[in-house]
Amino acid sequence: MAAVGGPLLHVPKSPTAAPRTLSGSRRAQARRQAEATKRKHPASREAPPAKRRSEASFLPAEKAAAKETQRTFKGKAQKTFSPKKSSVGVSDGTREQKPCVRTSSLFKNNPEIPELHRPVVKQVQEKVFTSDAFHELDLHPHLISTINTVLNMTRMTSVQKQSIPVLLEGRDALVRSQTGSGKTLAYCIPVVQSLQAMKSKIQRSDGPYALVLVPTRELALQSFDTVQKLLKPFTWIVPGVLMGGERRKSEKARLRKGINILISTPGRLVDHIKSTKNIHFRRIQWLILDEADRILDLGFEKDITVILNAINAECQKRQNVLLSATLTEGVTRLADISLLNPVRISVLDQHHGQSDPKGREVPEASPLSAAGEPDSFAIPESLDQHVTLVPSKLRLVSLAAFILQQCKFEKDQKMIVFFSSCELVEFHYHLFVQTLLGRSGAPASGQLLPSAATRLKFLRLHGNMEQEERTAVFQEFSHSKTGVLLCTDVAARGLDLPQVTWIVQYNAPSSPAEYIHRIGRTARIGCRGSSLLILAPSEAEYVNSLASHKINVSEIKVEDILSVLTRDDGFKGSRWGSQKSRAAGPQEIRERATVLQTVFEDYVHSSERRVSWAKKALQAFIRAYATYPRELKHIFHVRSLHLGHVAKSFGLRDAPQNLSVAAVKRRQANLNRQNQRLLKETLRLGRKAARMASAYQHGSQT
Ligand SMILES: Nc1ncnc2c1ncn2[C@@H]1O[C@H](COP(=O)(O)OP(=O)(O)OP(=O)(O)O)[C@@H](O)[C@H]1O
């Protein structure tokens, strides 16, 4: 079993390895050549794992490497691991005498971590609950008892107290309140109250009376669930959901039978408008745009124009409501074309704007703040925000250590980790499942992660997954008490996943609004929660950018995150092999981090297919990095990335040759050209919609 200790210290055998008869030094030379050849011609023959490969289909080919990983975990490697050797790296001249350590030093040549002089700003705060009860509102008694007994709610939140009466009066409204403050019920209750009270009882075959547009499928399901619960006593009103990924045919059949409260994603509704005969908007009385600013994103704006035109063509008089935790500049444009003389509702404390006793917002409280001032966003008081500055080489081990720290050593933790693309989610999901858990959720080694098996559970959610799987993951994570969800921004908006305790942003968001929505998945409705933003030292200035939007973060040092590895003897290097409980010094922390990095690198380098898979993930990272908006380019610019260092955070030992900044720039230039074309088209459609809306307004006022 001599090979068992291999993964940390051995030079992998290559077909070009020197014959046994070579002398010691020539053998070493041949070995170096073999290695150089391998590096020069990086693995490419095998196809990378398919984008949406499920875990089951991904596993069989991984068998050998999984075993290898287990061997690393089992600790034979620990006996031969030499911290000194490991820090020498591959360029060390003493290689003939010492076995080659494939993990180059994680702690050498890193950029200095700057002191974070973070400005302390006063965050905008909102009061979540009021002392007022739902039964004080003029609602149908059955609706009140459903809220009390089915939803288990008695007191209104601030946004509900302000919005429900305004909406029951029949006014259009632009509603903003912090994440997790109960905006869904703020519009669902008035919609249900008004529809059940209609003099001529609603028939299913009447078709939609209310249309709710939401940006993602999961949010559509969630809003549908809330509406369905509220409708319990009013069985004649039928809710329904349309969303991409579902079978169009069955949706058409449901539309034919009739849906009175229709919840949909914009894209799917446009699909039906164009192709389904049975969809009409003759009786629409409510149009709700939830997460309005997200809906405004490129692509959706065009869809919204199509939808508004289709509704306007059939029905002129209705109530319109726009809601979001962050109303950005673009929302004003949408408000202009979709709302008629709206009431602006915003829940802010007395230091930030005043509301009249009925909760109508006066203009200065608007987040669309005075010209020149960056928008400020309300953040739940119960949310502790942190930032950590991590050199690129240490990113992967730091993330893994943080996950272990929170989800293995702490009880009942539920974490969401945000990445910038689907590829990155897939990569980290499979890497962590295979290395931190081993196969099928069991720990790779009883020695390494004894209790992790029960506490660590990874899930992933992104836009490239099949809808069925997306829904299953969403449900599983919702109902689970613990777990780590790796995801893209598809999960950033509106999702109400109970009891999430930690939000980690592994890739920084591209706007402060996105930051707010991501962290808003925790600390909902008054619960406590924490967030961690991981930045490279070169990105430290982002903290100031957040501060300019009144967002405060406190620093956690990377050493403190990595120090958790000393709590798990599975990461022990040989130097500390026999010493049981000693205080963890910086050297030991470094060595343990190196052991963990080696586990990742060994996994990635155990087959050419995996190397190529890691390279693709790295490429996806760089592509996403190149798309930060202009105002953040001075902080996030591909030029400031050290590709060799970044490659390490993908378990790669070297930076791939073909990933020069120039190549990325070329790709970016192409992307920019495409975006420009899209933007022009969107602006053209926006102008057209504005003309039509103003004609409509003029018509309805005269
Ligand atoms: N009055 C209330 N009492 C107790 N819980 C409530 C009340 N209103 C809403 N909730 C609960 O609070 C949670 C958050 O509500 P909701 O998802 O509507 O927030 P939101 O403001 O829309 O958040 P986001 O901006 O992230 O979309 C939900 O679980 C909801 O059931």
Q: pLDDT tens-digit profile of 365-412?
A: 333 343 445 577 889 999 999 999 999 999 999 999 999 999 988 888
**Token pair listed for 558:** 């990377």
pLDDT tens digits, 98-143: 334 455 588 888 988 888 877 778 888 899 999 999 999 999 999 9
**Residue 191 pLDDT:** 98
**Residue 244 pLDDT:** 77
Alpha carbon distance 125, 380 (integer Å): 7
Nearest CA to ligand 1 atom 11: 182
459 Cα to the center of ligand 1, angstroms: 24
Alpha carbon distance 278, 268 (integer Å): 15
Instruction: Indicate whether residue 181 lines ligand 1 (CB < 6 A).
Output: yes
- CA of residue 103 relative to chain centroid, distance: 30
| % of the chain with per-residue pLDDT over 70 | 71
Q: How far is CA 617 from CA 431, 611, 622, 624, in A?
A: 11, 10, 9, 11
- Which of the two residues, 254 and 95, has the higher pLDDT score? 254
- CA of residue 697 relative to chain centroid, distance: 39
pLDDT tens digits, 429-440: 999 999 998 533
Alpha carbon distance 518, 520 (integer Å): 5
- Which of the two residues, 607 and 683, has the higher pLDDT score? 607
CB-hemisphere CA count at 13 Å for 109?
10
| Residue 7 in this model has a pLDDT that exceeds 90 | no
Nearest CA to ligand 1 atom 14: 180
Nearest CA to ligand 1 atom 27: 494
Ranges 91-95, 230-234, 469-473, 516-520: which has the least confidence = 91-95
Instruction: Indicate whether residue 158 lines ligand 1 (CB < 6 A).
Output: no
Q: What is the mean pLDDT of residues 656-670?
A: 65
| Residue 76 in this model has a pLDDT that exceeds 80 | no
H-assigned helices in 339-466: 395-407, 422-432, 452-455
Alpha carbon distance 558, 545 (integer Å): 21
Residue linked to tokens 């040092």 = 557
Query: Where on the phi/psi map is residue 21: left (φ > 0), alpha (ψ -120 to 50), or beta?
Result: alpha
**Residue 12 pLDDT:** 32
| Residue 611 in this model has a pLDDT that exceeds 90 | yes
Ranges 11-25, 314-328, 441-455: which has the least confidence = 11-25
228 Cα to the center of ligand 1, angstroms: 16
- Encode burial over 151-173: b for 16+ CB neighbours within 10 A, e otherwise: eebeebbbbbbbbbbbbbeebbb
Can you give 350-380 as a three-state secondary structure string?
CCCCCECCCCCECHHHCCCCCCCCCCCCECC
414 touches 502 (CB < 8 A): yes
String of DSSP letters for 216-231: SHHHHHHHHHHHHHHT
Ranges 308-322, 331-345, 423-437: which has the least confidence = 331-345
Burial class (CB in 10 A: 0-12, 13-18, 19+), 385: buried
| % of the chain with per-residue pLDDT over 90 | 55
- Which of the two residues, 163 and 361, has the higher pLDDT score? 163
pLDDT tens digits, 534-565: 999 999 999 999 999 999 999 999 999 999 99
**Residue 90 pLDDT:** 28
Nearest CA to ligand 1 atom 22: 183
Amino acid at 397: V
356 Cα to the center of ligand 1, angstroms: 23
Residue 261, classed as helix, strand or coil, is: strand
165 Cα to the center of ligand 1, angstroms: 18
Alpha carbon distance 195, 140 (integer Å): 11
Alpha carbon distance 433, 166 (integer Å): 50
Residue 181, classed as helix, strand or coil, is: coil
Amino acid at 254: R
pLDDT tens digits, 512-542: 999 999 999 999 999 999 999 999 999 999 9
**Residue 313 pLDDT:** 94
**Residue 294 pLDDT:** 81
Q: What is the mean pLDDT of residues 441-445?
A: 40
Instruction: Indicate whether residue 222 lines ligand 1 (CB < 6 A).
Output: no
Residue 285, classed as helix, strand or coil, is: coil
| Residue 697 in this model has a pLDDT that exceeds 70 | no
526 touches 498 (CB < 8 A): no
Q: What is the mean pLDDT of residues 152-172?
A: 97
324 Cα to the center of ligand 1, angstroms: 12
464 Cα to the center of ligand 1, angstroms: 28
183 Cα to the center of ligand 1, angstroms: 6
Query: Where on the phi/psi map is residue 321: left (φ > 0), alpha (ψ -120 to 50), or beta?
Result: beta
Amino acid at 181: S
Nearest CA to ligand 1 atom 15: 182
- Which of the two residues, 692 and 29, has the higher pLDDT score? 692
Which atom of ligand 1 is closest in space to residue 185's alpha carbon? 18
Can you give 104-123 as a three-state secondary structure string?
CCCCCCCCCCCCCCCCCCCC
Q: Which residues contact 301 (CB under 8 A, 6 or more apart)?
A: 295, 334, 682, 685, 686
Q: Which ipTM was obtained for this model?
A: 0.99
Which atom of ligand 1 is closest in space to residue 498's alpha carbon? 29
Instruction: Indicate whether residue 656 lines ligand 1 (CB < 6 A).
Output: no
Report field, pTM of the whole predicted structure over 0.80: no
What is the residue-averaged pLDDT of the chain? 78
pLDDT tens digits, 32-66: 444 444 443 333 333 333 333 333 332 223 333 33
Ranges 33-37, 236-240, 487-491: which has the least confidence = 33-37
Residue 606, classed as helix, strand or coil, is: coil
CB atoms inside a 10 Å sphere around CB 668: 17
Partners of 289 in the beta sheet? 213, 322
Instruction: Indicate whether residue 153 lines ligand 1 (CB < 6 A).
Output: yes
Residue 446, classed as helix, strand or coil, is: coil
**Residue 296 pLDDT:** 77
Instruction: Indicate whether residue 523 lines ligand 1 (CB < 6 A).
Output: no
485 Cα to the center of ligand 1, angstroms: 21
> pLDDT tier at 295 (50, 70, 90 boundaries)?
confident
283 touches 315 (CB < 8 A): yes
Can you give 25-46 as a three-state secondary structure string?
HHHHHHHHHHHHHHHHCCCCCC
Residue 687, classed as helix, strand or coil, is: helix
Q: Which of 291, 562, 567, 553 is nearest to 451 (CA)?
A: 567
Residue 540, classed as helix, strand or coil, is: coil
pLDDT tens digits, 173-215: 999 999 999 999 999 999 999 999 999 999 999 999 999 999 9
Q: What is the mean pLDDT of residues 690-700?
A: 53
Residue linked to tokens 């005043």 = 354
CB atoms inside a 10 Å sphere around CB 107: 17
**Residue 571 pLDDT:** 76
Nearest CA to ligand 1 atom 30: 182
Alpha carbon distance 679, 673 (integer Å): 10
Q: Which residues contact 84 (CB under 8 A, 6 or more apart)?
A: none
